[in-house]
Copies of this chain bind each other. A is one copy, B any other.
Amino acid sequence: MTEVNVPSVARELLQRLGPELVVTGEDVLRYCHDWHGDVQSSALAVLRPRNTPEVQECVRAAGALGLNIVPQGGNTGLVLGAVPDMPDHQVVLTLERMTAIRQLDCDNFSAVVESGIVLEEFKAKVAEAGLFFPLTLGAQGSCRLGGNVSTNAGGVNVLRYGMTRDLVLGLEVVLPDGSLFEGLSSLRKDNRGIDLKHLFIGSEGTIGIITAVSVKLLPAPDQVATALLALESLEDAITLYRHARRQCCDLMSAFEFLPPLAFDLAKEGIPDLVLPMAAEHPAYVLMEIAGSGLVDMDDLMARFVEYAFEAGLVLDGVVAQSQAQARNLWLIREGMNEGQAKRGKHLRTDLSVPLSRIAAFVAETEAAILADMPDVICVSYGHVGDGNVHLNVLPDLSGDIDAQICRAKQIANRVLDGYHGSISAEHGIGRLKKGDFSERLPEVQRRLNVAIRKAVDPAMVMNKGCQIDL
């Protein structure tokens, strides 16, 4: 990087904040791409504050220069929420240097943590104290907690523990004018008026920068029992789920449905995988229960599977007898994704419908897609308990792949709209889904969204281009 390439406004930022906090030149680029590497953008500079007052300083300096700020955690999002799209007007503000655990309160089952801590590191620290932070994501080795909160991340444990929102007790947020929202409460029950923290959770950095979070912790579930069950239909999976909630006292930590094709895909993804049963039934459920202490999870699972057989809900089943066997069952779920990837570019979706309608939605959508494009392959699977469906479509490789993907997405969204479903069950809106979101946003909601953003960020300093166009 040579001085001559730095635009004057970046030089001005450098002058105001100093080289310790401001990155310019080519080093900026590694903060300006998306997680998959499909998009490479740029920005005027990257701001790297080390603590909350420095975040305030950065926000004030950027605001004073009329710049727009894109806050960034681990930049593992899938919808371009933290990727700048106005290179000449935006700076990235990364929280990566703010990684302290400010407080760990074992009796209150809570912690206060800075936004930049990597999720996996935080979970490990908490585990050392015998506690458990349940948020579990594929990206957990890279994503940062503040990003999880600002995107209201989901993950595989939502069924039992909720979205990130449900794990947050309080927030510290630097507002667009540089002032500080000091809401790091660790109270479990606090009913003082409008709960402002919920505005920031899921706002994807559009109205403030979350600098620290107070979160709930739980006892670590030291017992896990896992089973793979074969069923007559996806409808039966919904019925089985209803029975499982009641019979297992809501102790389920996963309840995934899989199509028979999952077995083939898993073998393609992980060739030496040993399948525990043949793929000869119409639907499968991968079920996990978890707990701690005096309730015996293996015994509970064994009795539930027996109950389900007797009730005629299950045709065949395997209950893991060891951690290794449990791991092997999960490899079918994970291998299926790898198998899809090996078949090449395909449509991946992140949809949700009421869980009572999953079977009808999947049947109708697959039928509509196959009626239009008989040579594609539909692979539908997901989280029954959340109503979250990944309805993926593998295109016919001899045809126009992008056109098939585009067409399949249109059809899926059209059917989804009839089910009042969500085009983003867990990934957020960012910049990628802004168009699809906007098309479906009722006028009253749009007005409220705009009114709130303008009320909190009248100078429009924060993450322009994300979620909605103002």
Contacts and interface: CB of A to CB of B under 8 A. Distances in A.
Q: Is the interface of A mostly helix, strand, loop or mixed?
A: loop
A219 B294 contact: no
A424 B191 CA distance: 6
A452 interface: yes
Given A110-B354, A246-B219, A249-B291, A191 B182 contact: no
Given A105-B354, A186-B354, A192 B423 contact: yes
A20 interface: no
A87 B109 CA distance: 47
Contact of A181 (B151, B201, B303, B444): B444
Interface string A101-119: 0000111111000000000
Contact of A295 (B204, B248, B444): B248
Nearest to A467: B193
Given A246-B293, A291-B249, A442-B182, A189 B356 contact: no
Given A421-B187, A444-B182, A429 B193 contact: yes
Interface stretch (A21-29, A264-272, A382-390): A382-390
Contacts of A110: 354
Nearest to A165: B195
A322 interface: no
B193 A202 contact: yes
19 contacts: A108-B356, A152-B195, A158-B188, A187-B420, A188-B387, A189-B386, A189-B425, A190-B422, A191-B425, A191-B427, A193-B204, A194-B449, A194-B452, A198-B198, A198-B199, A247-B294, A248-B295, A251-B295, A294-B307
Given A196-B448, A198-B199, 11 more contacts: A108-B357, A152-B195, A187-B352, A188-B387, A189-B352, A190-B352, A193-B449, A194-B203, A194-B452, A195-B201, A249-B292
